[in-house]
Structure 1
Amino acid sequence: MLIPLIKSKFRLPKLPIGYLRRENLSKKLENGLNENKKVTLVVGNAGYGKSSIVSDYIQSSNIPYLWYSLNESDTDLVVFMNHLIKGLKISLPSLSDNTLELIVSAINPIDSLHNIIGLLIEDLSIQVSEKFIIVIDDYQYLRDSEPISKAVEYLIEYLPENIQLILISRYMPNIKKLPQLRLRQQVEEINTSNLKLSKEELEQILSQQLNEKINDDDLNKIYEHTEGWIGIVVLLTQVYLSNSMLKEHIANLTDKNQPIFDYLASEIFELQDDKIKDFLLITSLLPKINNILCLEVGLENIQDNLEYLKKINLLEKDNEEFKYNPIFRDFLRERAKETKLFFEVQDLYNKVALYYQKKEQLENALEYFFLSIDYEKAEEILIKIAQDLIYSNRLDTLNKFLLKFPDEFIESAPKLQIYFGEIKRLWGNYTQALEHYHKAEHDAKCQKDDSTLALSYVYQSIIKASKGEVGDKDLIDEALKIFDQNDQHGLAFAYNTKGITYLFSERIAESLKYFEISLKYYENVNDSIGQAKVLHNLGFAYSMLGSFEHSRDTYERSIKQAESVGKYPYIMTYNNIAIIYNYSGDFNEAHKFAEKALNISQKLQYKRDMSYAYWTLGMISTNIGDPSKSEDYFNICLSIGLELGDRQVQAYALSGLSELARLQGKLNKAQDLIEEAIRRRDLPLDNQGVIELLMQKSAIFLDLGKSQIVKHDLEVYLLPKVEKLQYKYYLNHIYLYLAIIYENTDKNLSEKYSNQTYNLIKENNYYFFLTQQKYLPKFLKKKLEVKSVEVNITKPSQIRFQCFGEFTTYIDGQIISNKDWTGFKTKLTLAYLLHNPKGVTKEQLANLLYPDMDITRTAINVILSRLRKAIEPDLNKNSVSKYIIFNEGKYLFNFGTSYSLDTEEFNYLLKELSEIDTEDKKLVVLRKIVDLYKGDFLNDFNSEYWSQIERQVYRRKVESAFEQIFNIYYKKAEYHEIITLSEKEISIDICNEKAFQRKIKALIALDRKDDGLKHYKIMKNMLKSELGVEPNNESYMLYQKLV
């Protein structure tokens, strides 16, 4: 269901004729923007002129703005955010749709609210460089909406200071941090005492409206009774058009404490005849006043009555409709409740509901059927719109409607129980969802409601599938028997669920048939969300069967269907496409899709999906030879799995770490990790969920030379199971491993399995698989020679950061020049983000970039904008940065992208060094460590305290590495290597006396004393000129040997 853009919500209120400008209040509103207040509150009862004052301020300021007028329909978070963003796009057409996509894609937007608002703030920071005003009028409608209150609190906290947020409300907004904002003087407030007219302002209005001056006694009397309430004053001047008429009624104002409603009743309402009174009362209860609606509810003499009321100033025209003065309208509604019979009001509301139903405005119709207490009709309307509310993620609205039904009605309404269950299921509360589905089943049986009974069966089965259990095929079959064959939505859902049930009960090939049937039904009813869901399941089934090209094409169709209705595709669709590309060696595409999966899961805070995206990135990094990155990704995946208590995620992470260890030759560690992964999976060894882990274990055991154990596991557990399941990709592994095992013991069997491997590779384009194998059987090699095997392996484009020496950034090998950085502070910001992975706030950046200076947020926005432009020169103005993200009030470098960072690799190598026990292997790693060190850490940021500390730490670590290498080379008497390495050490620090000593010692050992003497003199001059010192005793002893 698309949420329509109601343009009247964004219309700036017109100023009343003869509006009196109130300079003191305009000044307070200006202070809200110019003094960088976080929020401006305008709070007071109806008729105090709140909207007019703010409208006048906006019109006189000529500042771009959004005016958003609320009503009861805006209390749903999805609706509110939709209107807010679409309203902003009227003034800011370049604002991206990313936030809207995020809202409609979140299962529960409240859980992702921080990131939703963060994305919007980030977009506004880019789009709004000058002043801008956001006004939310009639905020009292949101008083009881906690999610929207939270959203507005985030706006208050994070909006750039060049954007003013004004909230207009009858009651004080529910802002939890309001006391702190007041204490810090970060809120500008206009309240009832400010809004009241002064006696001088009252005199100006009366004189202007009546075209003559009013005497002091009359002025005092009016002021005393109206208490500066401008709405009452305006109403008086509208009804009593001359000073003489007003005087006559002023004389009747005797009781100062007489309620203003009583006064209006006696002085205005009671003057009308009975027919006009009735017309006034009925129209006050209508949502709007126009000829068509008045006719629909059975009113007579409509045009004459409207013209009469307009003539006596009780009605004013608002475009094609009429409206009462808000104070008078409130009075009329109170009087209607007192005087109209209950059934009369009910009947009126019923007619309004039917009017809206005729106009296909079903949500409005539903509201008025509730008011008319016609619950049967309300249920009928809700059934029509419920699925659209679910698809558009408006679960709050659906829940609100359901709760309006009385308990006794719900008890006997099985379809409503289904909707309650759906809300609970989508919010992840499976236990409560099942309770509702069971209740729906019971009631549907009692009422012989086959359609709802069938749905209850399907939903019960889908709950089991959602929990990772095997669905109940009998329930689904029973549902399909009793479904009305015209209920294509129901049938589509049932067949999709049946497909899922078969998928997880090891009948994957059969599941394809049911997914295809489901897809046809969804196509018949043009349901894109349903199609996206089924295509995802279909793509997953194809991938399990090893039909990767078919799977990828199906997944991409799923993405297109979801995007066609403005929703994010399923996160796992992106992730699974990434896995398929990884299997085929296209690491560039694999990384692109895994990044998308990670990015969306981070925005939506879907931690399980996030863990799988990290695992996929880890596997890609392993395949492209980036072990430091892959280990980080697998460890993040593992930490999320432990946090969630999800043993399946833990098993995946451990399997990734195991594969990394295997490729590094750490076979015992790889074995321990994969066996722990199998234990965490906690499933029988022939279960399909363990097959991938057992395949990995077989590869490790083959490398360990345990071929007999592998042979037993493959032939007893895996081969029968995988052949039955038709998992071609894993079957390919098994045939290859058996061909290798039998090569030296049974030539015929080896050739048989080689042939089977070759056929599978040829039929399914598994050629990249061959490039990953350490050994191929001779017979298979011979067969492959007939076909020229070419695998196009692509690596993701990469941004590379060098922090040792001068901070340098490379994009696909090209250095970003100083000119492109447009300033030192831009580079410094990036370096700081790279070494603060938890993120930094704008305040922290301000302290870093402008210490001891009071600067605006705008200055930080400029730096961040320059940074994005430098590292993403092709980034569109309205696009979100791939590398620099905003999350929970902090800016972060996106470590899920394809990048390399020398300090990360340096630390990884140090960790690897601690696990090595042989000297030769240590030497290889130590050389890599010192080769990475191009100079002191960020040596062009000498004045930055945070970098100075890190610089000292890295210097000590690299000095230790040099020391260990020299010790090894001295043992081996490899003096040429010592000379080369000491020259590198000197190039890092030209005053490093110890490095000079090492070089001189090596030259002496090689009997090159002349060269040694030359270097001694260079060292002596350098120490004298740079440090003002003489060589130490050890250097002097070496000099004695030279001469």
Structure 2
Amino acid sequence: MPKSARKPEVFTKLISRLEKAKGFALYFAVTDDPLFQRAFVLATKAELKRPVVEVEISPAMDIPLSQFIAQRLEEASDSPVALVYSPDLFISNESLKIGGEIFNDMSNNQGKYILLRCPLLFIISPVVRGLITALLPEIFELVSAEFLLPSFLISELELSPFFAPQEPRQWVDLFDPLRKGLRGRSPEARRDKATLDYVMGVIFLHLREFAKARKLLRKSRECFRELGDARLQRYPWMWLMKCELETNHFAQARKLAEEYRDYTEKFGTNDDLAFAITLQYLIESAEGNLEKARQFLLEALDMASDDSQQKGMILDFLGDLSDEMGELEEAVEWYQEALEFSREFGYKAREAETLYKLGGVLAELGRTQEAIEAYRDALKLHRQLDGKPYIAETAYALAYTLNAEGDFKEAEKFAKEALYTARRIGYQERAADALLMLGEIASEKGELEQAKSYYLEAKAEYEELEDPLGMARVLTRLGELAADEGEYEQAKEFITQALKLAPKVKDEMLHLRAIFIRGFISFDQGRFGDARRWFEKFLKKLEAVELPEAIRNDLETYVLNALTKCYVELDRLEESLEASKRLLELNRKRGNAAVIILNLLLIGDIYADQEKWEEAEAAFNEAMDMVEEFKGERADYLKAQVHINLARLKTSTGAFEEAIEHLNQIRELDVKPEELPQEIQMLEKLLEQKAAQSSETSDEDERAD
């Protein structure tokens, strides 16, 4: 296969469109990284057969852009391609004005333009975005960066859209020949070589080829240092630090950050220094030194300019850190301050991202309605900005929260939006998650066939992704669904597959859920020995999982109820008694009187089966004391249950008169005969038999006398 064929297909398509453009093409290479901007310009120049004119613009330009471009085009032959780029455009407040001028100038031109929309275009002001939207139908042919920039080229300190998943090796094939082919010792040639060293270093880092990445990033940094370019040094320095973090070389990463801080204190601006301090925060956070990380962030916040995006990013980081430290109320406060900042300066994309994170914290705090509102506001902004990856993420989070609240209609609507958007941009992970959620919603609504269809679609997606966690989740749901439909063998097959994935999946709650379902499959089949083993395994694993006490108690109570019945059915009375006592302890904490009464009756029954009559009567009497005070809707039914158990006990001990008295008490209660038919009939029959036996014994005694 020719080497060029292995370059990213989206890049070669872009080149083809630029070649065919009439007049001249205006190609915006706007990313959040000026070195990647330059690398794209170099790659485009190398690939195009048409003459190229580079146009670097900045807010400091003193003539209109159209005049500036015209002057540059005069130097070229016919039909040139103007590669227009800017390291600063759209990323600072003073540059927003020139953004508007650029598009106004374009509207007066007769050329054919191609706009390459890249990540940072999402954060331009509404005014400039409005101009773009208005002009697009007339003079723009849109080439979306959603199909150009892969996620590994986006700085993790800025926005991180989930752009098309291109193979990193394809980008090696694009940039590496350029890097190796550069010659010359002029400052410009050396800067371009350092730029491509940097780009290749970042790509190798994402390929986890750390030795190559480290070597190239160091070469790039040293070259920029020799050239005296303080602005560009920060980029290789930052990625070198990330390389050390990825390989757990925290000491080396810390040393690099300290060196960069020293450098910016001597040669950089306050915002450069704030950025350097933020790098120190990232190191301490990665190593788990969260309090020290917070101190660096607070220092960086004091250093950052009041109107810089750096300040907004730091406020967001403070919210993230507070969330990680479990200080959720403080996280809310930082996110709200970050929102005020973004709204004041018109940073719509950052506002949307902060709203998304705020929604997550509010949901964790149980402030669900506020969380839903935050997610709705974030989604509205992402729709305005046409940030499809963010739309998919936020719609999914909103659907998840609504589903947890039981609002299935709204949850379904947003889950479908997440699915549709994710599929449009090839974001397969989120599409699979949305399908899984739609299955859960359909199951809750009783639409079991529809649920199964969604689950099977999700399963196919997770299989293709080779995602063990996703597979375990959907297999568990399929097992649960099959069990609900009485398809127990199929249910066991699904759950067995899910449990086999447990070593690969670090999700203890999911593992617990699978064991839980597996136990109840056997329980529902009446296979109490098998169910007992699964329930005991569940309770042992539950001890090792960190959970809120209320949730832990609920799970333990539910399983102990079933486990106790297993022990009774298996005639393992001592174990059933021990489980029942633990169950009683848990139910006393929950304070549900009706459940406690039934629990006491179960304990009394177990004692009676062991012929421990005094202990049995004590449990029944305690239940009677409680039922006399019980004012619930089913009070008489519970009283009848207690009387039945006492009547059965008295019959077993030969106290027939007392047994008959308890039966008479039942007849005075507001309980329909059909509610307790078997218990009463069996007891009355037993009393008749006992009375007959007693009469026979009495006659025999009289004859003997």
The TM-score range, normalised by the shorter chain, is 0.3 to 0.5
Structure number with greater CO (CA < 8 Å, separation at least 6) is: 1
Computing the radius of gyration over CA atoms, which structure comes out larger, 1 or 2? 1
Q: Which has the higher helix share?
A: 2
**What is the TM-score of this pair, normalised by structure 2?**
0.46
TM-score by length of 1: 0.33
